[in-house]
Structure 1
């Protein structure tokens, strides 16, 4: 999707189009590339620091694992809930594990067991390891850019 003229200083779209903010959109177009015709803010979610990197991580997973224009309503709800939790200051680990769990389940990559308590810090390391292994298998060894950036930032 393209937003013609959105970078211009006087554009009505410029102040509305921000990363990780819920929007109501209208667009036109018949081919693969659509043209944005209208955008309205549907809420504000301030994200900084770890919460912002976590949001970029979720986006990268979605872009890598889902085909374009493939609707997943339950996955969208999980993504939206994770963004809400991250913007409210909830522990990022619980929000991310819940999102990863739902992503694997909704895309058919086999999380058949019952959902664990994602907020339990005792089981979080094992759950994180398990989900990371499952995601690595699906990603076929292609490392995520957000993980690399986060590791680089932690070294600074």
Structure 2
């Protein structure tokens, strides 16, 4: 068995004295493991760093075997990612989310989004909003997608400002007003891509929204905690934006 694909390094673990088992988010073959012979060498260590894009050739006698990787570097991001809190915690958090997916299931959209977001960390004001959409995409691919297209009560497609914590559907301002204290806030940038995420409060609301449904549908049923790196990333991303009604410090306190 043999295939060739591109992928992004998620993590490594030692294998024998000189090799590693590389966990890679590939474009066509999903989250996939493979042995890299000599992966702890001076030549390959800089290549096999989380966040780097690589060209892969995977070989095994049978498809169900672990197999071996031949690896070539395509995009060396890791060194740059380590230079900021957003980059460092962001790559760790997205890797943790991708590990929620079944191994070897193809999710090309998530692979491509992963690469785009990693490259966006040079622009902290954009990174948080892109990452929230990544969490929404992960929820959707796991079968728990939110419906933010129309009001669950009236069917209208405008003035959507809440999300029902029970159904995961959007609710308009008028329909949700009597139960506002029971509903989750829906920031405008999540329903209209022409609306920028321009303040800390809106981003904090978005993190609270996706965090709630990740806890409810994914982390709690599996008996696992949110990644610690998510809290660190969210805090760094919120602090990168200007204040709205609440200060970034208060927004950070609300999501951690």
Q: Which has the higher contact order (CA 8 A, sep 6+)?
A: 1
Match of 1:133 in 2: 212
What is the rounded CA distance, in whole Å, between the counterparts of 2:117 and 2:49 in structure 1?
17
CA RMSD of aligned residues (A): 2.5
Deviations 1:14-50 (A, max 9, x none): 34222101111011112331211x2122123220232
Whether the 8 Å contact between 2:215 and 2:226 is mirrored in structure 1 is: no
Match of 2:81 in 1: 47
Tell me, yes or no, if structure 1 residue 3 matches structure 2 residue 32: no
Match of 1:144 in 2: 226
Instruction: Return closer, same or farther for 1:108/1:6 CA change in 2, 3 Å cut-off.
Output: same
What is the rounded CA distance, in whole Å, between the counterparts of 1:149 and 1:113 in structure 2?
24
What is the rounded CA distance, in whole Å, between the counterparts of 1:148 and 1:19 in structure 2?
16
Q: Which has the larger radius of gyration?
A: 2
Deviations 1:77-117 (A, max 9, x none): 1111111111x233332232121111112222122214435
* TM-score, normalised with respect to structure 2: 0.51
Instruction: Tell me the CA shift for residue 123 of structure 1.
Output: 2.3
Match of 1:35 in 2: 68
2:118 to 73, 78, 83: 83
Q: After TM superposition, list the pairs within 5 Å mapping 1:38-117 onto structure 2.
A: 38-45=70-77, 46-48=80-82, 49-50=84-85, 51-63=87-99, 65-86=100-121, 88-91=122-125, 92-114=127-149, 115-116=190-191, 117=193
- Would you tell me which structure has more strand in proportion to its own residues? 2
Whether the 8 Å contact between 1:75 and 1:102 is mirrored in structure 2 is: yes
2:53 to 15, 18, 22: 22
Instruction: Tell me the CA shift for residue 6 of structure 1.
Output: 1.5
- Would you tell me which structure has more helix in proportion to its own residues? 1
* TM-score, normalised with respect to structure 1: 0.80
Higher mean C-alpha displacement, 124-133 vs 13-22 = 13-22
- Segments of 5+ residues of structure 1 without an aligned counterpart are none
- Segments of 5+ residues of structure 2 without an aligned counterpart are 1-33, 150-189, 237-256
